Structure 1
Amino acid sequence: MGGSVGRRLKNIIRKTICSCGDSISGVQVMSPLGVRLYIQDRHVVLDNGIVQVTLSNPEGIVTGIRYNGVDNLLEVLNDENNRGYWDVVWNALDGSSKTGTFEVIKATKFEVVMETEEQVEVSFSRPWDPSLQGKLAPINIDKRFVLLRGCSGFYTYAVYEHVGSMEWPAFSLGETRIAFKLRKDKFHYMAVADNRRRPMPLPDDRLPGRGQPLAYPEAVLLVKPVEPELTGEVDDKYQYSCDNKDIKVHGWISTDPPVGFWNITASDEYRSGGPVKQNLTSHVGPTTLSVFLSAHYTGDDLVPKFGQGEPWKKVFGPVFVYVNSVMDGDDPLTMWDDAKRQMSIEDQSWPYSFPASEDFQSSDQRGNLSGRLLVSDRYVCSDYIPANGAYVGLAPPGDVGSWQRECKNYQFWSRADEMGYFSINNICTGTYNLYAWVPGFIGDYRNEVSITITSGCNIEMGDIVYEAPRDGPTLWEIGIPDRSAAEYYVPDPDPKYVNKLYINHPDKFRQYGLWDRYTELYPNEDLVYIVGTSDYTKDWLFAQVNRKKEDNTYQGTTWQIKFTLDNVNQGGIYKLRVALASASLAELQIRVNNPNSNRPLFTSGLIGRDNSIARHGIHGLYWVYNIDIQGGVLVKGDNTIYLTQPRCQSPFQGLMYDYIRLEAPLLQE
């Protein structure tokens, strides 16, 4: 780390980190006065002697966070309503609006839920009634804020409810989240993961004159940033997205005085779409987010639609806002290490025991489930195969794989050990299906029998078996079935559009503008992959995108897979299995040995709105297609499969492949 940015981060002169019942110094810091609540005319103040949180009354907007000698960690230049807030994006389903309505949740009623020296919990609620139709999202919203004694931070959660009455209109909920806008004069270093942390541009660097807008508003080329060493870099908030399973702790570091501001999520049970749904985290602002519902990387499939009078209630959170500092002379980055330790403490404390809402189920109200998942694939092994590293989860009843589009209720996931044993703990009461998928095997598992979780239950499933899709022996395969295109070739970015964080980084797919690299790599002819000769890590591009033409329009592309068959079962049926990791307003057409046939052997039709190509995601929603190829279509010797993506209105339309396999006809016993 060099230059003035690095010097800022080495200017450290502060004290110990304190946390909820723990600290890196090993000394628990407790306020001698306990937690205090001060109710003012226009504000409510929660104070435990370590951190002081100020909220607007009765709106429930976080207007101030005082800590470590800083009067306010939030952006004091912003209006009070634009500092720390819950928000929604919603849409009426009566056709009255084409675009979603953004609404910062402003409560109309303040209430003290609990007030002791050990804990203060306050409620800011916004009831809905028919007089508000078309003006506010038709949901009752109760925002809660909790401050505990000795805690270096505070918790927030909310209860949303759509009442089962015909007076309550149909609507869709495109997004809901918590946002915190931090002081731009102090917070300059951001951390999302151990290998995704860096000094960040200032928000001013994105303004005209300092920043040049690129293909979409979120991406800006820094042409004259305040810190000259950042010149020529691209800033885009989507470069810092994460899978739900990985969004545990992220945030910012200030150095004057040294303060860390962290968003810690102990559970992702209340997020939509399962463990690999992607969401935003922190980004230039400086901003930090907790996103609970969104259409990012999935499109409209992950936007819940509620019918008129459809009853629904859900608790989002609690999320922990953690603040810390360092001892004199310490490296400021130790605040990131401490935040990770605090995340582990929060994780072990889930489900929290302190929320006062009856809608948040405590540990003794929940249940547990365990078992062992095995895989059956006789062309891999004659015995059952332990589902090493399988993702195993409970989600509302539905079809195979439906969990990835489920967005109204709770999901509970774990990973199996190397022998396939899994344990899913602290499951909210209700009825679920058991779902799973196994890295290394194509497709999805669903247990046919629904499972009812009751308070205190411990359900033992025993051995369950996933029958992996298989018709015959593998003739050839491309890639690894893991729902990602990460194993394929990702080109270096255009030198003019680089984020230095992702140079020589495993996530090099997060660089801006990679969609246009295809045209440079394949200016005239499309990609050709030769089975037995080509290497998918070098010769199969991570995304099948459009080619840019000289007139700045785009044309669809056709990739070829060439392979040789020593013999052909003319009367048999060969099976082509294609798993897609992403589809963005795309179509997959498949032809065999005749690229010019008017009718393809298979077409997916128009699929996908996950926009993963533009948003630097290596996957979106998962699609599997199993295509029969009549033996008579193939020939002894050289054969070619043509994969065409014809939709070409923009550079961002295209496909990412997870895995492709050709199976021979079933062998006769």
Structure 2
Amino acid sequence: MYPRLLFLSTLSFSIFSTDMLYVTRAQISSAMGVNLSFQEKHVVMSNGIVEITLSYPEGHVTSIQYNGLNNLLEVLNDETNRGYWDVVWSPPESNGTKGTLERLAGTSCETIVETADQVEISFSRTWDTSLYGKLVPLKIDKRYILLRGSSGFYTYAIYEYLEEWPSFKLDNTRVAFKLRKDKFHYMANSDDRQRDMPLPDDRLSGRGEVLAYPEAVLLVNPVESQFTGQVDDKYQYAVELKDLRVHGWICMDPPVGFWQITPSNEFRVGGPIKSELNSHVGPTTLAVFASTHYGGSDLVIKFDESEAWKKVFGPIFIYLNTVTGEEDPRTLWDDAKHQMTSEVESWPYDFVASDDFQTRHQRGSVSGRLLVQDRFVNTDECIPASGAYVGLAPPGDVGSWQRECKKYQFWTEANEEGYFSIPNILTDEYNLYAWVPGFIGDYKNSTIINITSGVNIDMGDLVYEPPRNGPTLWEIGFPDRSAAEFYIPDPNPKYSNSFLLKDPNRFRQYGLWDRYTDLYPDDDLVYTLGESDYTQDFFFAHVLRKTSNDTYVKTTWTIKFNLSDVNESENYTLRLALASAHQSDLQVRVNNLSEVPLFSTGKFGGDNAIARHGIHGLYWLLNIEVPGINLYARSENLIYLTQVKNESRFQGVMYDYIRLEAPQTSIMSINF
């Protein structure tokens, strides 16, 4: 029988046997090494700290033993429903973003590496025409890695699509772990989003009341009364990818942390500020690699018979930790963040055995400096693009990176002087893209960047000239692709979650779309330049108004402003930067609400950020010419913004920033 293991931190642990002999982590790791054993229906990996059991040959994780717990995963679930990879896919003619959910099961198992220092095992399956319509047309290779002395394990997968295989759509792919509901009750997504969580039983009929969509449930009779009146909704915990590095759960007795660590986002889709699910009631923890969340059908991955494709998703690290004595188990979060930093610094890993995963020396890097020249802000001088998001993504159009979902992306944030460095880029061809907080639009460098092994490309000084036709007459908001700076109301007390009441989480409360009706029951929002304050007077989302018979009607927002002079022979430019749009038709009229719209988007958008408690989805920039003859000098002007689609309560847009520009040839002034 093994002596009792007591793991103290990522750096050291002790073993206490009957004679209280102290052994260092290095000594015990050296003594025990990594072991791999095959049973009739299972494969077991162990290293004296953690033991992982996988179904054979499917490759589902059925058991994780650690710190005296025989299984951290939900033992009440079927073995296929504990730790697994899955996809959601659909035929090419399908519409929308919902398809067939398939748990990816291997049909063969192969030991890739087996030494005292490391085990890597593969569970794979291929595809042929006999499986048409039954399984997703992909070759799947799921891998699991256990290292000597590691308090956790790694998993990654290689997906491959061959030419002439049938066309299909891939809506979603992820790794899911469902933990024991009798043990894991405390969830941590970030420093400011962690709490005791309700049970999955609380969502059942009689305990929970389903709200406007099935993911949102009002807890009316929970097992623990402290959760009465709260809303449980997994979308309240979504996180931007740039911040989605570590999340998980804590068991208080015995103290155990279960953490999912993602050291790189290169294999995820949608860019650095795409929001994604992570941990939620179950207790469940997810590593989502591709999804339509906060993007809609634009982020469905589409395959046709004329192409071949291969991609490595991961590795991610499942990290386990514990504390000793009287130490608060909640401090396991701090240790998990420390381990996350270590994993990020170790990326790309040098122990991954697949040739499809490039190591550090096989990759390249790009550096440079991004400057901004807005001739109506900084005249002829360039200013540093401080805080710019700079990235490499497959060649495409300006801004195409936020909808690109087949290949890899590499992003960084420029420093105060605009300098950026992007390391560890996979060999391929890319464009360099960027966007700069404080300026509208997207930057794209048209040069095709060819990354080869070991290359270090210095792009020098790059200059972004944001869209601009003339000087600013007025502006509303701050251009950062988010609606967070606008007015976010207090939630309806019936649906309030206390831990989300403060910034920066206020927008995560359920039902904020109906608070617009409470604030504007009869007349719509009117914003007066020079008098109104967009942090208090500009609602964060342009939504519909709820009527007394529970229907929703279109809404028209009005912007009031005065001009001291007008050049009737030229065009003015109205810039509408949108942080989100969902099945909307946004119409613009000037000074006459009864006329045909000056501009109409038609039905567009599908990111569903309003329903999913987002503060942004996909970014849109609308540039609208306003004939000077439509404006009044020395008199009040009115711009009407109407969202006319009202088939669903969740249709609407979020504004990022609004600006009116004068013609370039004349300098107009605003007179409030």
Shorter-normalised TM-score: what interval? over 0.9
The CA distance in 1 between the partners of 2:538 and 2:14, in whole Å, is: 47
In the alignment, structure 1 segments of 5+ residues that lack a partner are 1-12
Contact 1:35–1:117 (8 Å) recurs in 2: yes
- SS of residue paired to 2:329: coil
Alignment match, 2:377: 380
Kindly provide the amino acid, as one letter, of the partner of residue 392 in structure 1: V
Kindly provide the amino acid, as one letter, of the partner of residue 228 in structure 1: S
Match of 1:316 among 313, 316, 327: 313
The CA distance in 1 between the partners of 2:179 and 2:159, in whole Å, is: 26
The CA distance in 2 between the partners of 1:496 and 1:14, in whole Å, is: 47
Q: Does 1:590 align with 2:588?
A: yes
**How big is the shift at 1:28?**
4.1
**How big is the shift at 1:139?**
0.2
- SS of residue paired to 1:448: strand
**How big is the shift at 1:15?**
4.2
C-alpha deviations, 1:411-456, integer Å up to 9, x for none? 0000000000000000000000000000000000000111100000
Kindly provide the amino acid, as one letter, of the partner of residue 37 in structure 1: L
Alignment match, 2:81: 82
The CA distance in 2 between the partners of 1:94 and 1:475, in whole Å, is: 47
Q: Does 1:17 align with 2:45?
A: no
Contact 2:392–2:431 (8 Å) recurs in 1: yes
Kindly provide the amino acid, as one letter, of the partner of residue 657 in structure 2: Y
Contact 2:572–2:663 (8 Å) recurs in 1: yes
Q: Does 1:581 align with 2:572?
A: no
Contact 1:170–1:309 (8 Å) recurs in 2: no
Q: Does 1:232 align with 2:223?
A: no
Q: Does 1:572 align with 2:570?
A: yes
**How big is the shift at 1:225?**
1.2
C-alpha deviations, 1:563-589, integer Å up to 9, x for none? 000111111211110000000101110
Q: Does 1:179 align with 2:176?
A: yes
Alignment match, 1:126: 125
Kindly provide the amino acid, as one letter, of the partner of residue 243 in structure 1: E
Shifted more, 502-511 versus 285-294: the winner is 502-511
Alignment match, 1:393: 391
Contact 1:144–1:156 (8 Å) recurs in 2: yes
Alignment match, 1:69: 68
**How big is the shift at 1:118?**
0.4
The CA distance in 1 between the partners of 2:96 and 2:344, in whole Å, is: 41
Superposed CA RMSD: 1.7
Contact 1:188–1:252 (8 Å) recurs in 2: yes
Kindly provide the amino acid, as one letter, of the partner of residue 154 in structure 2: Y
Kindly provide the amino acid, as one letter, of the partner of residue 440 in structure 2: I
Q: Does 1:365 align with 2:342?
A: no
Contact 2:6–2:14 (8 Å) recurs in 1: no
Q: Does 1:354 align with 2:345?
A: no
The CA distance in 2 between the partners of 1:311 and 1:23, in whole Å, is: 48
TM-score normalised over the length of structure 1? 0.96
Alignment match, 1:250: 247
C-alpha deviations, 1:175-215, integer Å up to 9, x for none? 00000000000000000000000000011111111111111
Alignment match, 2:210: 213
Alignment match, 1:163: 162
C-alpha deviations, 1:128-162, integer Å up to 9, x for none? 11111110000000000000000000000000000
Q: Does 1:550 align with 2:548?
A: yes
Kindly provide the amino acid, as one letter, of the partner of residue 660 in structure 1: I
The CA distance in 2 between the partners of 1:24 and 1:490, in whole Å, is: 50
Q: 1:360 to 1:24 in 2, by over 3 A?
A: farther
Match of 2:274 among 245, 265, 277: 277
**How big is the shift at 1:99?**
4.8
Contact 2:83–2:175 (8 Å) recurs in 1: yes
The CA distance in 2 between the partners of 1:605 and 1:353, in whole Å, is: 50
Count of aligned positions: 653
**How big is the shift at 1:667?**
3.5
- SS of residue paired to 1:333: helix
Contact 2:9–2:335 (8 Å) recurs in 1: no
- The percentage of counterpart residues that share the same residue type is 63
Contact 1:47–1:53 (8 Å) recurs in 2: yes
Q: 1:451 to 1:98 in 2, by over 3 A?
A: closer
The CA distance in 2 between the partners of 1:125 and 1:426, in whole Å, is: 28
**How big is the shift at 1:16?**
3.7
In the alignment, structure 2 segments of 5+ residues that lack a partner are 16-22, 668-672
The CA distance in 2 between the partners of 1:667 and 1:473, in whole Å, is: 10
**How big is the shift at 1:226?**
1.6
Contact 1:145–1:156 (8 Å) recurs in 2: yes
**How big is the shift at 1:504?**
2.2
**How big is the shift at 1:22?**
6.4
Alignment match, 1:3: none
The within-5 A match list for 1:511-550 is 511-550=509-548
**How big is the shift at 1:23?**
7.3
The within-5 A match list for 1:648-663 is 648-663=646-661
Contact 1:14–1:326 (8 Å) recurs in 2: no
The CA distance in 2 between the partners of 1:228 and 1:27, in whole Å, is: 45
Contact 1:367–1:456 (8 Å) recurs in 2: yes
**How big is the shift at 1:624?**
0.2
